[in-house]
Structure 1
């Protein structure tokens, strides 16, 4: 599109001037021009994303909620922060009720989680939109305050005709993003009314609500010490007893220019001096307030609050661990998964065999390594073997070892096998469902007796090994088919740690940042809109697929240059018959990503629209509308 500039030199600004917006709509939708001085840049970017996705401004908008089962799962996955946010949402709704506003919370993809306020007398459209489970994402209902706040990571307002779809022009709304204590997006808080204009104070109240929710989440985290800036609008940092940063409030992250709390960030990376000496000085002098120098010389006045807790995502409570672990291969930030992981770690430390389940590529081996590294066995070997990647006739000797002469080609002097190599440590059996029945008997004997019988040997060998097994298959179904022993299932299922698929994880940003660091991509190369697009992609291959896509993007892009969705060759992961029907375009804009996601979901669900909508996290009505837009 060609850029259009009006004669007036002032930007759209904060005032609601409908004449300017109507003028902007005419230039954009009729004349095909970009009215850069009539509409704020984030809104114009949203219009462009909608247009590039094939959305028409005059399409009918259907505010249809997702299936009840999908909503129930969605609510459960957001429960860790949603419960804390309810009272703040009610307080916000009460504060704006007289001005005709209703309030809502959405998740990070724009789906309504909770609503508050008296909406019974409002318009049908507003009542339809303000329902838990309704998809209010940009791809579902076009430009709106929640979706733009998610894309921009800041508070925004969208008034009347600034909405992309004509059906939504009665709405006047403002929204503020909500972040967890590590800086990862959780969702938004929004106030909307169906009468014109933005009432003074509505935006400020929405921002204050988001800040209170964030503070509640911050305070709910235990810490060894919390450092609070004096006179810095709630800026606060939390550290564990090793001096590792575990949480930071939004204002603190802005002050120290830290978008997210990254793995391994320590006290010394932020402040001058040594953490241990600083703690000792404060405790010896019984001081709470004092001066701290940021690296670079800026001096701040801060209060130190010692809470005494030593939270680590991999720590075991109480005296179960004499020496706390120092490292975990890839720390999860999803609160629901994190809580399950901590329980699994306690079970593992208690000697219970642990079964890790999850989809292919979701990170089951990473979870197993984290359990090992978080345990007292972390200094001993961690040995992994994939039962589905070896010939059945070789698994026995690989696992249990063999004596000399046990079979043709056996090693001179014999071989100890993987289990004995893991002595004192952890043995990880991946794809345990693929283990032959004959070996399942031997594994059951080992779990019961703590002894192995090498191939060709007559005497068993005692071994001290803890087992973690993993599978993406339904083991009970295999038992019913006679392919897996019921008694072995009971034996390896001391505790089940489910690794959620990437599309369900609340810590997508943390996973994305960790993988970016691993493949050499700087966080500054990913715009907010690109992050949002990647988060809303279904990722059927989970973390492994995302890592491969990032590796490809790093290889295709110029070093250090901002990445675009076109650098992520997502269609390469789609089924072959989709690739045949797809054009030979070498770039993938957001519209193409949406079409690929829909086609992939329909393929995976054998054309079941309801199931595909649930997989994509959108309503059936939205999916039907998008299916009509797909090329025949």
Structure 2
């Protein structure tokens, strides 16, 4: 296109005449004339900032440059044979990193395809970087799409890079000094630059949120773990504290995601994230969105969990299993030390105390993607037992006391020479079963290299923490407990433990008419504890500790009179 024809077309666009140009280009041309006062008939050389200015821009973008560099290097190797140049510009339009053939350094610098070039629209006119910064969208500005005659030989394709709070932080640009005439020739460049920008955002999110949960998302399971489409970061309460740009469209188009809880946009809470980690087939890691759509999710546990005051650092899913309870934290710390070994584990605890969740959390501490094989011992027929393959991973034996004598023999034989790590659970005193002859001693020692004892709910000191976590899972509407309802729940004995508590809160969330759950919204206990003249078999000191030393609360939880507790305390001195 001749210079005079280019200027004439810009004039026709200003007069509202159709020329066939993209709407993005036409809008940019109007800004160049009406807002910036640029003259299309006067070509301007590329604007290169001073060394001091460039140093300042690079220092401000130092972290992003470091994160993006390996990915951009890989992209440049893909396109280098086609004479492309890669530019990483900051949010002000200044090129802070550059990949190009140094043999053409003088030509590239003259064209502005070089380190330190300023491609902001008010200086360079319509261009890839400037248009991308203005629109926040990926664009191709091809040859005479450029406003300034100095740039019309170029073809520039640019995509935005957003930071973890959703702000436009940089632009990735792929440019050519000379290109084929059709604009469609840059379609491949557009796909490459979009993909690379998405990967830079992903790498930035992972680097910025090492102490938090990250949930990576994909519309199909095949690429979920290797090249996911989007990701969000979550704090310990399940609130979204960071995201990639694609996560907004994937999860909640049109609604700001930052600050929302995971259970407000999906059917999951933060407590469900360990189930989406490696070890489970990707096609089974389905996330249901509130609008009915489904995605696949891959959860990555905090690499270095933030240490709450008085609590130890815990790896993986172990960090989300307990609040400020010294006994539980000591248990989880012990589980963490045993997690990466081959020692078979026996997890003991009443029904509903979270034995399977603990087993899965221990398994998820593995660094590989080994599977988690579940075998429900209560569901097997007489003489049947799991026959583990000679593979990798964890064999989880649920309710191992339910195996009959014949099944125990089968299991013992199948475990001989097996490489699977065994984690078994039991609701009873399995050692007593051995002493009574109901459970084989040789099998017991094969599956119980170490034991972990989960306390019943009424002995846990983090009940307030559990109430808040389970209530968030039960309702996405921000319901809260009244002081009276909270005291009522804390006074119950909970024979069904966590399972019973979760069901009670789910029912209460449905029964509550307002934003607050009150005592009358709580369903009554299904198994009332019968009051007795003496203190039940629980250690009174443990119950008192769980109740913060409150004798009245301890008495209600034990189902006895306060005077009974007082008499026992006096007897104990």
TM-score grouping bracket, smaller chain normalisation = 0.3 to 0.5
